[in-house]
Chains A and B, each alone.
Chain A
């Protein structure tokens, strides 16, 4: 596609959103680099859609400022911010044909007819929409409607594209296909993408940068890799990964830490547990699920639940007692009082020592 637009950075400064008494967004600061693919991830009601709608200008901020590029757009309408958007429901105009839907924005901008048709042809080719241009949206399948919505978003060549859970109405197979297609489109056209989703697979596979939100606050902004390897808070650790990280009360291992164990949580991923006759984790089996390549074992240790992912068909029986060890680099320690990650490796060390 010609005339590739350079992406623009987005910056939120102390953005809050209040609906009457409820605070949906609590003084959010966020940098989204130009040309990056940023996913905003979080459970429902965490404020991720509100954040997107505030960037779009569909929602006014209660406090704070929004920048697109170097411009302060806080007071500007959605049409002046230089962004396009794909809605969860696609929001295609039902009375217009596919072609009319796609060029709607160009027509509003009074682009000459020849240019409109030229760009339409390019977009139709890019998204394989050429056979459907004269149909109404109702005559298309969900996946095709999704492509039309994408076409309408990219044809205007705006520097920023926002997407609000665009794949949630598609079946699993189509979702995988569209995920790759959206990523390819973003890389080919070079715009800045802000992508809201509640599906961590989508966020982790597509994004350069993931913003994980919870209860109107940002928990962590990091690459998918860092999010998995070095979760910044207890919430992140418990949200990312299927199944998520085991988080145990520090006091469960009290005797090993002494007083330092108060108010901390010890985390390790189910896949980090290794069966080891010398191991320091002593757990009894509650049940197991055979997943094919590995087995998920539900355990009980020091009064708390624990999950372990063991390779192959581990063949464990309920009631059996197993011993596990975890490598020191796989242990995460979180301070509950400050809601932060403790980087002091020595703190985790006593755990790895074999006590007999």
Chain B
């Protein structure tokens, strides 16, 4: 049992906001993060932004990974960011995956989403990004 750091393993919440029911990608990412030594809270399908943020606060995660394939990303992701701000929990960083057009990705980045992965992203890249986002200043 080698913890990621003296501050304990990286904790990540993986959730699917909104109504689409395709969680295969989210599960594959959750497994990859687990295999990288992280503690992954898998919140599952059909989560509201409110539920996601409350879960993230209770679980004291370092990161939230949102998977959206429904096209509702521009409604749901900014709401998660706003709620994190309201809960004074902006230290929790957000990354997203799914089918997100470049234009939207740019806007989401400006709003504070730290990384966005499309359908072709490699698991290694996602794991590396999660590490970097959760433990900035460490390589």
- Is the A/B pair a real complex? no
